[in-house]
Structure 1
């Protein structure tokens, strides 16, 4: 393992993050809609050290919409959404079963079934 990988934090692996204000101003996504999507498990909201919530940018497309199939993958991976940081790291990490792409990259490319095939509940 190289030194950079050894010192990387989960936030480094998952980031960058989009703040709710940026989703509102950049894509017209109101906070209430973001709150409902989070509560419904459509997107990941990660608790940050400062008490705020961070939304990993990888989970949104260029229009500010959640990636296709993301909610289905999250259901397969972590139905209770009890390990959101672990889920985010998994989505942002290269996966050999996806030819080295991250699950998020594969979702962005429309390969929902391939990601679902490798998404298993992480216990």
Structure 2
């Protein structure tokens, strides 16, 4: 899972068609489920509002560090995906349970690598973010730490190590232990 340049690229139009086909299939299935339960398609909300909520879950693009660390969610997108307030995100960042990076213009962005498919912060990442947060490590430093291949993880990055090992207890312990060791070294 190490980030490497892709050798084949889909055109934007081909990518759009593939996404729209997948969204169409998922929405069709959801509508069938609603109707089986005796509901109405209107139960899902207004089509334009539903489309806006779905689009808000896409990570934002074109950040200078997208290749190395991204893509990123912005606050608006992550609030929509999680269906929470800005204050709830701010609280998670303050408590050290969500990795956020402050841009030069003062906005927070959230590296997408920290999220599992269901939107939860991956086990191991949330624990290491807590370690970094308690020691005042900024989000950019933590993001680089998570994505840089390291001998501590047999040449993988911490994120890749967690993904490959499915965030097993041993993988989480290894990542957290290395985060603690590195923070202690940085403070020395």
TM-score (norm 1): 0.77
Q: Which moved more, 1:30-39 or 1:79-88?
A: 79-88
| Contact 1:10-1:89 at 8 Å conserved across structures | no
Distance 1:78 1:40 in 2: 8
Instruction: Tell me: higher relative CO, structure 1 or 2? Use CA pairs within 8 A at least 6 residues apart.
Output: 1
Q: CA deviation at 1:18?
A: 0.6
Q: Distance in 2 between matches of 1:32 and 1:63?
A: 21
- Corresponding residue to 2:114 among 16, 39, 59: 59
Structure 2: runs of 5 or more not aligned: 1-63
Corresponding residue for 1:33? 88
Structure-to-structure mapping, 1:1-123, within 5 angstroms = 12-77=67-132, 79-108=134-163, 109-110=166-167, 111-119=171-179, 120=181, 121=183, 122-123=185-186
What's the offset of the Cα at 1:65? 1.3
Q: Which structure has the bigger radius of gyration? A: 2
SS at match of 2:174: helix
CA deviation profile, 1:60-97 (whole Å, cap 9, x unmatched): 11122111132321344452333321111001111222
Note if contact 2:97-2:130 (Cα within 8 Å) is conserved in structure 1.
no
Q: In 1, are the aligned partners of 2:96 and 2:133 still within 8 Å (CA)? A: no
Give the TM-score of the pair, scaled to structure 2.
0.53
Judging by fraction of residues, say which structure has more helix: 2
Measured after TM superposition, the shift of residue 118 of structure 1 is 2.1
Root-mean-square deviation over aligned CA pairs:
2.4
* Structure 1 unaligned blocks of 5 or more: 1-8
CA–CA separation in structure 1 for the residues paired with 2:99 and 2:79: 17
Report if the CA contact (8 A) 1:74-1:87 is conserved: yes
Shift of 1:48: 0.5
Which secondary structure state, in structure 1, belongs to the residue aligned with residue 99 of structure 2? coil
